[in-house]
Structure 1
C-alpha cells in the first residue's frame, strides 16, 4: 500500500520527528478535553437528585453535537493558514483567521437567535415521559446559560485552526490547560461553595471558554498588530470559503448521523445492548486521542508543503504519517488485547455489562486497524484543501454502512420467515458493529483511492 511513496530511512526519521513535534501537544490536549466533562459530572453528581445530573448530561451532549457539527471552522482555517505559512505570506494567514472569526460570529449569532427552537428540538427527539419533566427543567437551565458560550467556542475553533496551521500546537495545549483549570476552580466555586447548582456548571463552562479565547488572542496579538487587514480583503473570496466549509459541514453531519445511528438503532435491542455499545465507543474515543494528534500535525505540515510547492517533502509527510498511524493502530490493538478486561473493569462495575461485552471483544481489537487510515487521511486532505473529496469519501462510507444494515435486516427477515427462527440481540448487534467497522475502513480506503487518483494530476509542485 505504501509503495506509492518512497523515502530513505534517514529522511523518514527526520520527518517522523517533525510530525511528532507537532502531534504530542495535540495528543495531550485531546486527552485533557474529557476532563471538562468529568469535572462537571463530579460536581453535579454530588447534588441531592439524579435529575440534575441527567439534565446536565442531556443538554451538554446536545450542545456538544451542535458545536461538533461546526468543527469545520477549525479544519478549514488550519488548512488555509498552513498553506499561507508555506507561501511565507503572514498577511494571507491573518486574513484567513479574520475570515474564520467573521464566520464564527455569524454562525454564533444564528445559534443565539434560534436557541429556543434548538432546545425544542432536543425535547422533540427525546422521551415525552412525565418522569422526564424535572430532567428537562435542569437541561433547560443548563442550556440557556451554556449556549451563550457559542461566540467564544466558535471563535476558539478558528483561533485553534490558526495556531495549528501555524505549527504552534504547544500554544493550543497551553490555552486548553488554562481553560480546564479555570473550569475546575469555577465548578468548585459556583456549585459546592455558592450553591448555584446546574446553573453554576454552565457558568463555569462559559467562563472557561472566555478565558481560553482571551489567552489565544493574547498569544497571537504581536502578529495581529504587525499585519493590517481591511474589511474588503476579508470579504474577498468569501464565497469560496463558504463552499469549502459547506463541504466540511456535510462531511461532519454524515459522520454524526452514522455515529448517532449506532446508539439509536441499538435501542431496539434493549438498554443492556445500548450500554455495552457505549462502553465499546469509549475504546474508539481512546484511539482518537493519538490519531487525531497525528492528523492535526499533518494538516499543518502538508499544508505548508503545498504552500512551498515541495512535492518530495509532501510525499515524505504522507508516507511517514501513514506509517505513524499504522504504528499507533498496532500498539492500540496489542494494548487492547492485553488489557481489555482491566479497562472494562475501570469503566463499569455492573456484572451483566462486564460479562456481556466479552462477546464483542473482537470488534474492540479491530477498531484501531479499521479506523487509523481515516484519521490520518482526514489530516492529509485538510492540508491539501480537498474538502470535496473528504465529503465524497464520507458519503461513500455512509452508503456502505447503511447498505449493510438494510441488507442484513432483509436477509434476517427472510430467514426468520422461511425457517421460523428469531435472531437474538447479540447477533444483530454484531451486524451493527461489522457495519461500523466496514464504514471506517471504507472511509480510509476511499480516501486512499482518491489520493492515488488525484495526487499527480492535481498537485502541481516542484
Structure 2
C-alpha cells in the first residue's frame, strides 16, 4: 500500500467507526423507553431527539471550520495559531450553548408549533428537552475539539470519545431507568451524563497528547499579542473565522431544508410511502457514514498540504481520495444490488412496505455513484477553507432539488422526489468539480494565512 493511501486510511477508518457510533446514542434511548410500556415514551424520545439533531446539525460548522483552519496552521507549523483556533472554536461553542440554554423555552415552544405532538408526548418531550439542553456546552465544545483533533491528523481520539459516550450512556440510562425507577427523565439524564463524559474525556486526552502546546496559551508567551490574550480575538482572525463558518452555517441550512422536506414530502403521500422512503434513506445513511470518513481525511490532509505549500502532495492526496471514493461507490452499489432487499427485510417484516420499496429501489442503487464526488470535494474544500464554493454548490443543488420535485411531482409522484434527490447529490459534486480548479489556484497562489 502506498504511503498516501496509508495516511488516508489512518484518518478515514477511525472516523468511520466514530460516525457509526453517533446514531447509537439515540437508538439506545429509544430501546430503553421501548420497554417502559407506553408508545408515548418512544414518541417523546423521538421528538426530543429530532430537535437536538437539528440544533446540533445546524451548528456543525464549529467542527468543520476548525478542522480546515487547524490543518492549514499545522501545515505552516504555526503552533500558536493552532492553539488559538481551538480556543476560538470551543469559546464560541460555549457562547452559542449559553444562548441556547437562555432561549430554551421559546425554542421548545416554536418546535412544538411545527411538530404538534399529542399532549402526552408533548409533556414527556418537554421534560426530556429541558434536561438535555444543559448538554449543549458539552456537545458544542466537543464539536470544536473534534474538528481540532481531525485538523491535527488525529481521528483516533474522536473515535475513543464516541465509543466512551455510548458506553457511559448505556450504563447511566439503564441504571437510572431500571435501577432508580425513573422514566423519560432517567434517559435524558443518562444522555446528559454521557455528553459531559465525552467532553471531559476530550479535554483530558488533549492535555495528555498535546500538553506541550500549553506554552502557546494566552498569557504563557511573555510579551506580545498573546501575552494578554488579544491575539486570540484579533479582528482579522475573527473575521476569517466567522466568514468560513458563516458559509458552512448557510450551507447546512440548505442541507437541513432538503432533508426535512424529503421526509415531509414522503409523509404527505401516506404511511406506506413514508415508510418506504425512510427505509431506503437508510442505504444513503450507511454510505454517508463511510464517505464522511474519507471526507475527514480530505479535510485533514488537504489543509495540511495547503498550509505547507506542497501542491504536489495535495494533488496526489485528492487523486487518491477519489480512487478510494469510487472504489467505495462500486462496492456499495454491488452490495445494495445483491443484498439491499435482504437488508430492508431486516429493518421491517411488513410485506406491504417491502413490496412497495421494490418500485423505488433503483433510485437507492444510484446513490453511491451520484454522491461520491460531493463527499470527497466537501472534505477537500473544508481543508482549503473554500467554504463559499461549498455554499454555492449546495445552493445550486437545493434549487435543482425543489425545481425538479415540484415540476415532475404531478407526473411521477414519489419517483419525482427520488429523482430530485439523486440530481441534488450529483449537482453538488458537479458544481464543486467545476469550482475546484479555481479553489486550488487561489489556495496556492495566496500567501499562507497567519
Q: 1:404 matched to which residue of 2?
A: 404
Q: 2:80 matched to which residue of 1?
A: 91
Q: 2:189 matched to which residue of 1?
A: 203
Equivalent of 2:433 in 411, 429, 448: 448
Q: 2:333 matched to which residue of 1?
A: 333
Q: 1:420 matched to which residue of 2?
A: none
1:381 deviation in Å?
Answer: 0.3
Provide the C-alpha distance between the structure 2 equivalents of 1:296 and 1:76, rounded to a whole number of angstroms: 12
Q: How many residues align?
A: 433
- Summarize the alignment of residues 35-434 of structure 1 with structure 2, pairs less than 5 Å apart: 35-127=24-116, 132-221=118-207, 222-229=211-218, 230=226, 231-236=229-234, 237-409=237-409, 412=410, 427-434=412-419
Provide the C-alpha distance between the structure 2 equivalents of 1:371 and 1:455, rounded to a whole number of angstroms: 21
Provide the C-alpha distance between the structure 2 equivalents of 1:438 and 1:213, rounded to a whole number of angstroms: 38
Is residue 310–residue 461 contact of structure 1 (8 Å, CA) maintained in 2? no
Is residue 65–residue 382 contact of structure 2 (8 Å, CA) maintained in 1? yes
Structure 1 outlier segments of 4+, above 4 Å: none
Q: 2:221 matched to which residue of 1?
A: none
Provide the C-alpha distance between the structure 2 equivalents of 1:308 and 1:138, rounded to a whole number of angstroms: 53
1:406 deviation in Å?
Answer: 2.5
1:461 deviation in Å?
Answer: 8.1
Provide the C-alpha distance between the structure 1 equivalents of 2:363 and 2:107, rounded to a whole number of angstroms: 35
5+ unaligned residues in a row in structure 1: which ranges?
1-9, 413-422
Deviations 1:409-442 (A, max 9, x none): 4xx3xxxxxxxxxx6xxx4101100000000000
Provide the C-alpha distance between the structure 2 equivalents of 1:285 and 1:189, rounded to a whole number of angstroms: 31
Residue aligned with 1:232, SS: coil
Provide the C-alpha distance between the structure 2 equivalents of 1:180 and 1:329, rounded to a whole number of angstroms: 29
Provide the C-alpha distance between the structure 1 equivalents of 2:309 and 2:139, rounded to a whole number of angstroms: 33
| Length-normalised TM-score, structure 2 | 0.94
Is residue 87–residue 308 contact of structure 1 (8 Å, CA) maintained in 2? yes
Provide the C-alpha distance between the structure 2 equivalents of 1:41 and 1:218, rounded to a whole number of angstroms: 30
1:457 deviation in Å?
Answer: 4.6
Deviations 1:86-142 (A, max 9, x none): 1112211110000001110111111111111111112111236xxx10011111010
| Length-normalised TM-score, structure 1 | 0.91
1:174 deviation in Å?
Answer: 1.0
Identify if the C-alpha distance between structure 1 residues 458 and 178 changes in structure 2 by more than 3 Å, giving closer, same or farther: closer
Residue aligned with 2:349, SS: coil
Provide the C-alpha distance between the structure 2 equivalents of 1:51 and 1:251, rounded to a whole number of angstroms: 34
